[in-house]
Amino acid sequence: MYAIVEIAGQQFKVAKDQKLFVHRLQDKEGSKVSFDKVYLLDDGQKVTVGAPAISGASVEAKVVGHLKGDKVIVFKKKRRKGYRVKNGHRQALTELMVEKIVASGSKPAAAKPKAEKTEAPAKAAPAAKAVAEVDYSKMTVAELKAAAKEKSIAGYTSLKKADLIAALSK
């Protein structure tokens, strides 16, 4: 399982038990931090893309320590002018250890099948047949987006025509 998350203004691909270095955070060493701007979740079977972020999803990490990055030398020179400037820089970093990735839909989805009755799948099957009868390839993009809105497909506004057809065909 991995996620794309925004930390300190940058996006990172993180997995459980991964160490990563980010721009300096204000949190103390040993404290736990949570990041709510999760843009993509992949649990191995299903990929969830947010529009722009996935509501309810978060990445929890522990601050391992604060340190400085490698020294970067900036040297400027203009030939035949006697102009030389030398500067150095060391970026302030925070080392994080990702402890867990929390998906928003994992707990409620597990609870729903237990609460559902046997009649509910029977009602869903005729609706699927009605959807299969519609030929989405002959529809315009506006009509596809309207159909996706009715089906509550997340992020339908940013999808292309082929992706909309694939999402509606499921």
pLDDT over 90 at 143, yes or no: no
Same domain for 92 and 11: yes
What is the pTM (predicted TM-score) of this model? Answer: 0.56
Cβ contact 50:39 at 8 Å: yes
Same domain for 103 and 137: no
Task: Identify the band that residue 65 occupies on the pLDDT scale cut at 50, 70 and 90.
Answer: very high
Range of the domain at 149: 114-169
Same domain for 68 and 144: no
Same domain for 50 and 16: yes
Out of 54, 82, 107, pick the residue that ends a domain.
107
Same domain for 100 and 20: yes
Give the pLDDT score at 105: 52
pLDDT over 50 at 107, yes or no: no
- Across the chain, mean pLDDT equals 83
Instruction: Please state, in angstroms and as integers, the Cα–Cα distance from residue 1 to each residue in 7, 21, 104, 109, following that order.
Output: 18, 20, 14, 17
Same domain for 99 and 71: yes
Task: Identify the band that residue 58 occupies on the pLDDT scale cut at 50, 70 and 90.
Answer: very high
